């Protein structure tokens, strides 16, 4: 049988995922993967350096597909940051659910913590960048360095929240994973409620007013 000639990056990801599902193990070498799906091993290296790189790319692809889908929606573009993040979550978890058997296998060692898993590092970078680009209101203190720190802290907190949501979903046995949907909505809404800076801004304004009045009285 002639070997496949025209393969792309997504083909290789599909081959890798199918191999894992069919054999209940990861391919140990590129040769093993190429033999199973009848393509030339050299074609693999046009896109990835090794098997680990394919594994790492899977969750990045889930992210990219989610964002691509969201960007086709005119409604999504009009949402505030809270609803955009909720939309991301629900769309992303639809993608995970469509590939639950693979995801469950890939993250089966999550008992020691998802944060340390190498295959999630690409997802982490893309997701934290995504959160930083959301129009999340932060305290305006006229200091670029501190504002950058604020956004980094928010993005890292969002990443931890995403990991907790994935862990909850992996352990969720409810029909249509409805408990995960509830968990996501409550978690995201609670985060934005905590980030609600209006009360804090009011305190700052009051403090500035009192300081100004005190200075005027002492002049």
Conformational region of residue 215, where left means phi above 0, alpha means psi within -120 to 50, and beta covers everything else = alpha
pLDDT at 206: 44
- 109 and 32 in a common domain: no
Give the model's pLDDT for residue 218. 44
Does residue 17 lie within any of the structural domains? yes
Q: Do residues 171 and 190 share a domain?
A: yes
Q: What is the pLDDT of residue 51?
A: 96
pTM of the predicted model as reported, rounded to 2 decimal places: 0.84
Asked if the structure places residue 219 within a domain, the reply is: no
Is residue 129 assigned to a domain?
Answer: yes
Tell me, yes or no, whether 25 and 89 share the same domain.
Answer: no
**Count of domains forming the chain:** 2
In which domain, by residue range, is 24 found?
Answer: 9-44
Query: 13 — phi, psi (to 5°)?
Result: -65, -45
Asked if the structure places residue 149 within a domain, the reply is yes
DSSP 98-158: HTHHHHHHHTTTGGG-GGG-GGGHHHHHHHHHHHHTS-------S-HHHHHHHHHHHHHHH
Residues 90 and 187 in one domain: yes
Per run of 10 residues, the mean pLDDT along the chain (length 219 residues) is 79 97 96 96 96 95 97 95 94 97 88 75 95 78 68 88 92 94 90 58 46 50
Rounded to 5 degrees, φ, ψ at 4 are -65, 130
For residues 91 and 117, membership in a common domain is answered with: yes
Angle between helix 144-171 and 81-98 (nearest 10): 40
Judgement on whether residues 35 and 65 belong to the same structural domain of the protein: no
């Amino acid at each position: 049988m002639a070997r496949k000639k025209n393969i792309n990056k997504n083909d290789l990801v599909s081959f890798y995922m199918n191999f894992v599902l069919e054999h209940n193990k990861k391919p140990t070498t590129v040769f093993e993967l190429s033999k199973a799906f009848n393509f030339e091993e050299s074609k693999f290296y046009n896109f990835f350096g090794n098997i680990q790189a394919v594994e790492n790319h899977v969750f990045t692809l889930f992210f990219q597909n989610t964002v691509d889908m969201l960007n086709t929606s005119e409604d999504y573009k009009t949402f505030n940051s809270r609803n955009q993040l909720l939309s991301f979550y629900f769309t992303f978890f639809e993608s995970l659910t469509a590939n639950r058997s693979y995801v469950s296998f890939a993250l089966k060692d999550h008992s020691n913590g998802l944060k340390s898993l190498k295959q999630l590092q690409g997802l982490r970078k893309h997701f934290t960048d995504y959160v930083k680009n959301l129009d999340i209101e932060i305290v305006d203190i006229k200091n670029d360095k501190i504002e950058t720190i604020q956004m980094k802290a928010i993005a890292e907190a969002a990443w931890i929240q995403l990991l907790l949501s994935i862990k909850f979903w992996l352990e969720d046995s409810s029909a249509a994973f409805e408990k995960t949907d509830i968990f996501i909505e409550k978690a995201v809404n609670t985060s934005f409620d905590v980030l609600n800076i209006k009360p804090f801004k009011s305190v700052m304004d009051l403090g500035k007013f009192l300081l100004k009045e005190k200075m005027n009285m002492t002049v």
